[in-house]
Structure 1
Amino acid sequence: MTEGTSIDINGLIRGNEKSFQILFINYYSVLVSFAMKYLESQDVAEDIVQDVFVKIWESREKLGEIDNLSAYLYQMVRFKSFNYLRAEKIRQDATKSFAEELDEIEMNEYIKNETFRIVMQTLEDLPSGSRNVFSRAIQGYSAKEIAEELGIAVETVKKQKQIARRILKEKLGNLFTLFFAMW
């Protein structure tokens, strides 16, 4: 605490911002240093100390019940630091547990579903003529059957199929080879 600057508890209780400012200036940096004894992050320590000051301001009417404000501030910082560490450990344990539960089968299923979604979205993004031709081609229809069904020339079917293959190859890269190399 700065020499010669005393904390006006009654001013704090009444909501005097100058009294609060003096409290903040006198304790902020020492409380951050104190929090750093428990925490590894300067940012987290600063956040915790700021939270303590917010709590002090919000419950300032009860400050008259506190015998030693300095000890109370340190106790609040320690308590909030421990709560943060406990919550962080719970979060890390949950993340680790979740990762362990995702076994290879689930991961493969996820990859398969996501790959299918990407391929289907890419097919939807094709120009309509190319999409109509290509979707029939991958269902096993011949160029002649597609031409007859759509009422277009066989050469148009071949051209639309070629356009679709080029676009899909550009957008899908190696996935194209995996899924559509035979068409």
Structure 2
Amino acid sequence: MMGETPKDVHSLMLGDEKAFQVLFVDYYSVLVSFAMKYLDNQDVAEDIVQDVFVKIWETREKLGAVDNLSAYLYQMVRYKCFSHLRAEKVRQRVTKSFTEEFDETEINEYIKNETFRIVMNALEDLPPGSRNVFSRAIQGYSAKEIAEELGIAVETVKKQKQVARRLLKEKLGNLFTLFFTMA
């Protein structure tokens, strides 16, 4: 059908599947090669050519207005390639913009919130005495101030801090070092 005749196009317009199959077999591989001149992805080129053939089948009744079906097929493939490239460029620009924005703000916010949640859960899991002492210690109170406020011995404060540090190190690992080196 490479040198299609008006009869071939007419048969295609009437829904002759055999005429469509002949057209597909004659043009598919050359149109994929043509699409590859614009694209660097074989799968995308094949998808575009298949889309063109689907469109030809769906609009076959209108093919009578086409003077040269071969040129029309190449034109459709070229147009779809350009459309794909434009869409891909827009997608990459939007993805890059979104990723940069997401990286800088949302990921940092997520990490901060998630870290805070993990640390707070670890603090909540401490025994009550250790939790009271350690909470005050990370607020900057001295062992003497904590002992006076809670009505316990300074040695008890030190022991409770030691227990809290050990439990938090076990639970938080490296996060402990990041957050609690001063307590």
Tell me the equivalent position of 1:119.
Answer: 115
Distance in 2 between residues matched to 1:112 and 1:79, nearest whole Å: 42
Deviation readout 1:3-47 (Å, 9 max, x if unpaired): 99x984334333333332222111110001111112222222112
Highest Rg: 1 or 2? 2
Number of residue pairs matched by the alignment: 168
Q: Is the 8 A contact 2:133 2:160 kept in 1?
A: no
Tell me the equivalent position of 2:134.
Answer: 137
Which aligned pairs between 1:133-172 and structure 2 lie closer than 5 A? 134=131, 137-138=134-135, 140=137, 159=163, 161-169=165-173
Distance in 2 between residues matched to 1:55 and 1:131, nearest whole Å: 70
Partner SS state of residue 44, structure 1? helix
- What is the Cα-based RMSD across aligned positions, in Å? 4.0
In the TM superposition, residue 167 of structure 1 has moved relative to its aligned partner by: 1.1
Q: Is the 8 A contact 1:52 1:77 kept in 2?
A: yes
Distance in 2 between residues matched to 1:137 and 1:66, nearest whole Å: 83
Residues 122, 18 of structure 1: CA spacing in aligned structure 2 closer, same or farther, 3 A cutoff? farther
Tell me the equivalent position of 1:178.
Answer: 178
Q: Is the 8 A contact 2:35 2:81 kept in 1?
A: yes
Q: Which amino acid aligns with 1:10?
A: H
Deviation readout 1:69-126 (Å, 9 max, x if unpaired): 1111001011111222233333445556x38x86xxx93x656524312312323554
Q: Which amino acid aligns with 1:117?
A: N
Distance in 2 between residues matched to 1:28 and 1:87, nearest whole Å: 23
Give the TM-score normalised by structure 1: 0.67
Residue 46 of structure 2 corresponds to residue 46 of structure 1: yes
Q: Is the 8 A contact 2:32 2:49 kept in 1?
A: yes
Q: Is the 8 A contact 2:48 2:80 kept in 1?
A: yes
Between 1:119-128 and 1:63-72, the stretch displaced more is: 119-128
Q: Is the 8 A contact 1:7 1:19 kept in 2?
A: no
In the TM superposition, residue 128 of structure 1 has moved relative to its aligned partner by: 4.9
Unaligned runs of 5+ in 2: none
Residues 15, 178 of structure 1: CA spacing in aligned structure 2 closer, same or farther, 3 A cutoff? same
Residues 167, 64 of structure 1: CA spacing in aligned structure 2 closer, same or farther, 3 A cutoff? same
Residues 55, 176 of structure 1: CA spacing in aligned structure 2 closer, same or farther, 3 A cutoff? farther
Deviation readout 1:32-65 (Å, 9 max, x if unpaired): 1111112222222112111111211221221222
Unaligned runs of 5+ in 1: none
Which aligned pairs between 1:81-120 and structure 2 lie closer than 5 A? 81-94=81-94, 98=97, 107=104, 112-120=108-116
Give the TM-score normalised by structure 2: 0.67
Distance in 2 between residues matched to 1:138 and 1:179, nearest whole Å: 13
Distance in 2 between residues matched to 1:29 and 1:134, nearest whole Å: 72
Q: Which amino acid aligns with 1:137?
A: F
Distance in 1 between residues matched to 2:13 and 2:171, nearest whole Å: 70
